[in-house]
Amino acid sequence: MPPAASRPRLTVAVTGLNATDSPGPGVAVIRALRETTDFELRVIGLSYEALEPGIYLRDMVDKTYQLPYPTAGTAALLERLRYVQEQENVAVLIPNFDAELYNFIKLEPQLRALGIHTFLPTLEQLEARDKLNLAAFGAAHGLSVPTSRPLYSAAELPTAAETLGWPLVLKGRYYDATVVYTPVQAGQAFQRLSGLWGVPLIAQQFVAGQEINIAGLGDGHGRALSVVPMRKLTITDKGKAWAGITLEDEALLALARRFAEVTKWRGGFELEIMRTAADELVIMEINPRFPAWVYLTAAAGQNQPAALLRLALGLPVPMMEGYAVGKMFVRYAWDLITDHTEFQQVAALGEL
Amino acid sequence: MKLKKNIATSEAGFIFNPATGDSFAANPLAADILARAKAGLDAAAIKADILERYDVAPGQLEKDWDDLLAQLREFNLLD
């Protein structure tokens, strides 16, 4: 590994610093990026809330700027990123939230003109794997997915239950899901989820089995340059992996490669898989970004965020073969200590 | 008894299935049997060795052997 001083300096900006109990992937992405041997990195955090833990991880994040919420639109985002670029000369930006991707993809040409490179899926790819379109996506590509239907009002619940059976999975458009077993539970869940995330919700057929996630990196030409499957060993009440282990299973690798091939996926992705008792692999969800456990890919020998950095810069990335099987992560909670002046700096001035 | 070829076993009796992420703890005798099976010994040879080393009736050994196989099969560890 070349000494840090001899490596070219590069500034990279990363979102998703909310390393909470339902974590954004940003901190894990940064941790993996920090292990690159290609560059000496300066890492800029991009946050939405003043209490996102990553802001205060000063050994990981050199400087943080707050961004306008995605609902503010592309113009507000571009204006803010122009300001950030004047200060920082960001070479690569890695967005990590589903809800912000639309804006970043739309702004790709403008960002490039500013000198900011990204490596993102196309809008068509983003739309195709949307929860609302997953059934059609599966049918179009011959991939096994659960039957689902959109729900715009609670009045549609009985029909959905009749079609999909009990129990039923209700999902928010971008986040959150719950399994309901009765009409009363379904009604309550609809109110809660629609109150939080708006409509439509997605009603999905319940599939029993073992939860497996696959982190991958598509080159945009049909190749998955890296694929690492992980089984959740501990799952939080929000359904997030709190511990996991890498698996050796050719069928899982083949499924992820097929996904990248048929979609020509560009960028990081995560497949949420259910392996049924009959050994069928059902794709429950496709996330258009790296997962929060992506550091495990680096720990297992395939540093996906570091590879994405190279792809964004137009540098070659070879197919990554082989990874450590049985490599585990166990997440933990840690109380970061900071000072109110730092918090005020972020809350009042929008940067730290 | 044929263990799946990618199953990892340790002297301490830990068994790890890399395809599923499952891990199990075997008692010393089960760990010994699995180690011998992994080394390529067939069932008859392993049983003969157990009968020689332990005070166990052949009928009881057969019963316990079947129980062990049933568990290994249930845990998806056998080919």
The mean pLDDT value of chain A amounts to 94
Residue B2, pLDDT score: 84
CB pairs < 8 Å spanning A and B: 21
- pLDDT of A270 > 90? The answer is yes
Contact (Cβ atoms closer than 8 angstroms) between residue A1 and residue A73: no
What whole-number distance in Å separates Cα of residue B42 and Cα of residue B47?
9
- pLDDT of A146 > 90? The answer is yes
Identify the residue among A212, A233, A245 best suited for mutation to test binding to B, counting B beta carbons within 10 A and taking the highest.
A245
Residue A4, pLDDT score: 66
| Between B37 and A309, the higher pLDDT residue | A309
Residue A2, pLDDT score: 63
CATH for A4-118+335-349?
Answer: 3.40.50.20
- Strands A168-171 and A92-94, by their bridges, are unpaired
What whole-number distance in Å separates Cα of residue A289 and Cα of residue B47?
53
| CA distance to A4, A54, A127, A147, A208, per residue, from A292 (Å) | 27, 13, 21, 26, 24
- pLDDT of A305 > 90? The answer is yes
Residue B3, pLDDT score: 87
| CA distance to A78, A150, A193, A255, A306, per residue, from A133 (Å) | 29, 9, 19, 19, 30
Q: Smallest Cα–Cα separation from A350: which of A83, A72, A20? A: A83
Chain B residues in contact with A326 by the CB 8 A cut-off are 8, 16, 18, 21
Alpha carbon of A252: minimum distance to chain B alpha carbons (Å): 10
Taking CA–CA distances from B15, the nearest residue in chain A reads A326
CATH for A208-330?
Answer: 3.30.470.20
Domain boundaries, chain B: 8-74
Segment B23-75, tens digit of pLDDT: 999 999 999 899 888 888 999 999 999 999 999 999 999 999 999 999 999 99
Complex prediction ipTM? 0.78
Confidence of residue A1 (pLDDT cuts 50, 70, 90): low
- Give the number of other Cβ atoms within 10 Å of residue B60's Cβ: 10
Listed in sequence order, the DSSP H helices in chain A are 26-33, 74-88, 98-106, 108-114, 123-128, 134-141, 157-164, 183-197, 250-263, 295-299, 304-312, 340-344
H/E element, A275: strand A266-275
Alpha carbon of A275: minimum distance to chain B alpha carbons (Å): 10
Cα A232 off chain centre by:
16
Confidence of residue A163 (pLDDT cuts 50, 70, 90): very high
Residue B51, pLDDT score: 94
Alpha carbon of B22: minimum distance to chain A alpha carbons (Å): 9
Confidence of residue A237 (pLDDT cuts 50, 70, 90): confident
- pLDDT of A174 > 80? The answer is no
Q: What share of chain A in percent tops pLDDT 70? A: 99
What whole-number distance in Å separates Cα of residue B19 and Cα of residue A76?
47
Strand partners, A286: A271
Identify the residue among A213, A246, A247, A253 best suited for mutation to test binding to B, counting B beta carbons within 10 A and taking the highest.
A247
Taking CA–CA distances from A244, the nearest residue in chain B reads B21
Chain A residues in contact with B18 by the CB 8 A cut-off are 247-249, 325-326
Q: Which residues of A117-126 are buried (b: 16+ CB within 10 A; e: fewer)?
A: bbbbbbeebb
Instruction: List residues of chain A with CB under 8 Å from any CB of chain B.
Output: 210, 231, 233, 244-245, 247-249, 325-326
Cα B26 off chain centre by:
9
Three-class DSSP category at A8: coil
Taking CA–CA distances from A325, the nearest residue in chain B reads B18
Strand partners, A303: none
Residue A248 to residue B20, Cβ atoms within 8 A: no
Segment A9-36, tens digit of pLDDT: 999 999 999 998 889 999 999 999 999 9
Contact (Cβ atoms closer than 8 angstroms) between residue B19 and residue B44: no
Segment A310-352, tens digit of pLDDT: 999 999 999 999 999 999 999 999 999 999 999 999 999 999 9
φ and ψ at residue A173, rounded to 5 degrees: -55, -45
Confidence of residue A238 (pLDDT cuts 50, 70, 90): confident
Residue A326 to residue B6, Cβ atoms within 8 A: no
Residue A273, pLDDT score: 95
Identify the residue among A234, A325, A328, A329 best suited for mutation to test binding to B, counting B beta carbons within 10 A and taking the highest.
A325
Identify the residue among A248, A250, A275, A323 best suited for mutation to test binding to B, counting B beta carbons within 10 A and taking the highest.
A248
Beta strand residue intervals within chain B, DSSP E: 8-9, 14-17, 22-25
Cis peptide before A200 (omega within 30 of 0): yes
Alpha carbon of B64: minimum distance to chain A alpha carbons (Å): 27
Residue A269, pLDDT score: 98
Q: Smallest Cα–Cα separation from A22: which of A246, A172, A186, A210? A: A172
